Amino acid sequence: MSVFSPVDPLISIGGAVLYTIGGLNPQRITHASEARFPAHAIPSGLAYQKTGLGERSKTIEARTMPHVMGGMDAFALLELHHARQDTVPFIRMSKNFLGLSDGYCVIQALEYDEDKLHPYDGVGRVIDVTLGLLMLTAPSVLSLAGLYRGGR
Using DSSP bridges, classify how beta strands 88-93 and 53-64 pair: parallel, antiparallel or unpaired: unpaired
> CB under 8 Å to 27, separation ≥6 — which residues?
61, 62, 63
Chain segment 2-58, per-residue pLDDT in tens:
445 556 778 888 888 887 777 888 889 999 999 898 998 999 989 999 988 888 999
pTM reported for the whole predicted model: 0.76
Amino acid at 81: H
* pLDDT the model gives residue 15: 80
Chain segment 67-90, per-residue pLDDT in tens:
777 788 888 899 999 999 999 988
pLDDT at 123 over 80: no
Rounded to 5 degrees, what angle do the CA atoms 80, 32, 103 make?
Answer: 55
Question: In angstroms, rounded to a whole number, what is the distance separating the alpha carbons of residues 149 and 142?
Answer: 8
Could you give the C-alpha distances from 151 to 138, 139, 143, in angstroms and in order?
Answer: 15, 12, 12
* pLDDT the model gives residue 69: 77
Q: Any long-range contacts for 47-55 (C-beta under 8 Å, 24+ apart)?
A: 55/134
Task: Report residue 97 CA to chain centroid gap.
Answer: 20
* Helices of type H across 59-112: 66-69, 72-84
> CB under 8 Å to 30, separation ≥6 — which residues?
58, 59, 60
Could you give the C-alpha distances from 46 to 36, 39, 42, 49, 79, in angstroms and in order?
Answer: 15, 6, 6, 10, 47
